[in-house]
Amino acid sequence: MSLTVEVARTAPRGIAAIGIPVATSGAVPRSLGWSRAELTAAGFEAKPGQVLTVPSAGGATLVAVGIGPASEVTAAVLRNAAAALARAVPRAESLATSLAEVAGVAPDEAAQAVTEGVRLATYKYLRHKRNENGAPKLARLVLLGRTVVHDALSEGAARGLLVADAVRRVRDLVNEPPGFKNARDLAAVAEEVAREAGLDVEVWDEERIEAERLGGVLAVNRGSFEPPRVVRLHYKPRGRASGKVALVGKGITFDSGGLSLKTGVGMMTMKTDMAGAATVLGVMSVLPALGVRAEVVGYMMCTDNLPSGTAMKPGDVFTSRRGTTVEVLNTDAEGRLVLADGLTLAAEEQPDAIIDVATLTGACIAALGHAIAGVMGNEERWVDQVLEAARRADEQMWPLPLPSDYRKLLDSDVADLKNIGSTNHAGVAGGGALTAGLFLQEFVGDTPWVHLDIAGPSDAPADNGWISKGGTGFALRTLVELLSTYRAPSR
């Protein structure tokens, strides 16, 4: 369901619910009709994201929304508070709130955060449900604010809605069952999105992929009935660009592990292994509307990874586009193989910087859990710029090293590289997220590059703040923020 967002000084008639922000100290807004003592007696302490529906004589449902200490309110606090408000009134078709007018946050940033929180918290994937009784009904959001900040609120709300809808599109793609999203399906969606957004798009079929010498993509695809696809998206701003960035997304539409077969449990979430490619598509889709000044090229590297009589075997060697030969010792370490070709293509575009996004390793989940992405890169200032954008977007990311002495763990007896690090006496590879990053680094040359391992936060086990259960669309908001404020790193 679409959402309209408007700005008004007072709540219009007929609004179903009104969210009223309450800090942990200071005066309680009179419009709520309850005193601090009454709220406390009801168990409401105004902690960030805490909500309490307050009985009213009639008209709109009133909801107290905790924002914590007034001096500590940030856009992130408002985003999560707005998400909690939306979930508190799941059947409401219209909602008004003064959250965007809380002091301490610029009106445009506040409006964007509140709009994102509401829009993302009301997301549910229901395409294959016969009964949609649990579907959110919210179709109208009114941001209450003073007339003097009306324009800033409107601009922020428009940006928030655009970004949130792009996140929702990524969530739809990630949540889609694998039988409905093979590589050709993803490419078709990308073509449609590109037309709508005004992007240039190319779709490479298997013949073009072979002609382009994308040996990693072809190797992973060997066991599949479905052909691979590579999608190249291009955004070029009007006038002089502030720089050029290349994005590369892992698009494994289903990962069985190939002949290095995963367990049954391990395969249950592997429809999400194309989240990186979906994120690249989502980011590219909003760049024209946002008027981003950087030129951006995006590559989606799409195939599935299945076992069959033609599948690549442990011990096989293939030649990547870069000319590097790779010994495949574990066919379940396939994402880095398609990314190797994608990163080579990206480097050939001669950008100022590259970012790849991938659900790459279980080792990163072991290190950082399911809420934090790993960040690795070859240029400190570029890594710092990405991390700063993540902080502003309220997406948790943590820097991980690329220790040069671990590079020898990728040495192969029969090829230039092997696709996994050396194992210890128990047969277990240590530092798997790091050796995966070191593998990818071999294909970027001297271009500043960052690798985002989103294996953990790309999928959520439960609702939490603006995150909804299932595919999350994680990293899209960080990348949009990054590209909107892009500064070309020096080489």
The catalytic residue positions are 262, 336
Tokens of 10: 């007072």
Identity of residue 343:
L
Which among 385, 389, 388, 390 has a CA at the least distance from the CA of 373?
Answer: 390
- Beta-strand runs (E) in 436-475: 449-453, 459-460, 470-471
Cβ–Cβ contacts within 10 Å for residue 193, how many?
19
Tokens of 242: 């502030």
Q: How far apart are CA 231 and CA 242, in angstroms?
A: 24
Report DSSP state, residue 89.
S
Tokens of residue 34, six digits: 């309850």
Lookup result for tokens 């076992």: 307
Closest CA to 347 of 239, 444, 238: 444
Sign, CA torsion 473/478/479/481: positive
Residue 114's contacts (CB-CB under 8 Å, 6 or more residues apart) are 78, 79, 81, 82, 97, 99, 100, 143, 157, 160
Q: Tokens 């309850």 belong to which residue? A: 34
Under a CB-based contact definition with an 8 Å cutoff, are residues 236 and 295 in contact? yes
Among 379, 356, 380, which residue's Cα sits nearest to residue 454? 356
The one-letter amino acid code at 74 reads: T
373-377 and 4-8 beta bridge pairing: unpaired
Write the CB contacts of 17 (distance below 8 Å, at least 6 apart in sequence): 60, 61, 62, 63, 88, 89, 92, 94, 95, 96
DSSP code for 26: S
- Residue 69's SS3 state is coil
